[in-house]
Amino acid sequence: MGLAERDRVRDEKINGVIYDMSPAPHFRHGIINGNIYTVIKHGLKDSLCIASIENLDFKYQPDVNDDYLCPDIMIICDRKHLKGGTYSGVPRFVAETLSPSTAKRDRGEKKDIYERAGVEELWILSPRERAVEIYYLESGKYILNQNYILQDDIEEEHYNAETEIALRAFPHIKMTLAEIFEGIE
């Protein structure tokens, strides 16, 4: 596939199979990713680490094949593995925002790939439920550490909009549930 084609089509290659990620996901998907990316980018301002949003392929086993994923958000700190539009090191953080066409793969194959690759923190976000699941890598396996569904009605018993979440490897980078899902009705 030529560069011009790759610019128009978002795809991923898992076990040699190319998955077309078009049409574009629902607008809520982009809003959530933008909200999280903005907080992370600001938090990494004076760091050697960088954040990417939907624009960098993660070659998760470069010594074996040319398979790749396109994480919604990824933090990378080892720039020597950055080449062009691909990263072949181990991301410190990945967030995947679910859409109906990718939810099964995001929760299944992709989660397993991130786990095997050694990504220490994975967030899976659901725009429809306004939910976030936070997984930490413990002894090579993902453990669900936090799980929230936004309740932003202050009158409700389980109001949690001001609950603050910090990235494990970057504890100074914090955001509330309300900030993550801002703009999602």
Q: In this predicted model, what pLDDT tens digit does every residue of 108-158 receive, in sequence order? A: 999 999 999 999 999 999 999 999 999 999 999 999 999 999 999 999 999
Instruction: Give the count of domains, the chain.
Output: 1
> Residue 110 falls within a domain, yes or no?
yes
6 lies in some domain: no
Q: 73-76 and 17-20: which strand pairing?
A: unpaired
Residue 23: predicted pLDDT: 52
Mean pLDDT for the stretch of residues 35-48: 96
Q: Can you tell me the distance from the alpha carbon of 75 to that of 90, in angstroms, rounded to the nearest whole number?
A: 9
The predicted structure's pLDDT at residue 178: 97
Residue 163 located in a structural domain:
yes
Confidence band for 4, pLDDT divided at 50, 70 and 90: very low
- Collapsing DSSP states into helix, strand and coil, what is residue 162? coil
3 phi and psi angles, rounded to 5 deg: -60, -40
Using pLDDT thresholds of 50, 70 and 90, give the confidence band for residue 8.
very low
Q: Is the pLDDT of residue 21 over 80?
A: no
Six-digit token string for 98: 């679910």
- Sequence-separated (6 or more) residues with CB below 8 Å from residue 100: none
Residue 9 pLDDT greater than 60, yes or no: no
User: Which two three-digit tokens encode residue 72?
Assistant: 């919604």
- pLDDT single digits (tens) 66-87: 999 999 999 999 999 999 899 9
Residue 137 lies in a domain: yes
How high is the pLDDT of residue 26? 64
CA atoms within a 13 Å half-sphere pointing along the CA-CB vector of 159? 7
Is the pLDDT at 19 greater than 80, yes or no?
Answer: no
Q: Is residue 11 part of a domain?
A: no
In this predicted structure, what is the pLDDT of residue 18? Answer: 81
CA-wise closest residue to 169 among 44, 57, 35, 34: 44
Q: Any idea what the CATH number is for the domain that residue 168 is in?
A: 3.90.1570.10
The amino acid at 9: V
Residue 185 lies in a domain: no
User: Does 14 map to a domain?
Assistant: no
Question: For residue 142, what are the domain limits?
Answer: 25-180
Does any domain span residue 80?
yes
Q: Which pLDDT band holds residue 159 (cuts at 50, 70, 90)?
A: very high
Where does 53-172 have alpha helices with state H? 103-105, 111-117
* pLDDT at residue 12 in the model: 76
**Residue 3 confidence (pLDDT):** 42
- What confidence score (pLDDT) does residue 47 get? 93
- State the Cα–Cα distance between residues 121 and 40, nearest whole angstrom: 14
CA–CA distances in Å: residue 55 to residues 42, 103, 120, 124, 168: 18, 19, 21, 18, 23
Residue 86 CB neighbours (<10 A): 15
Alpha carbon 4 to chain centroid, angstroms: 25
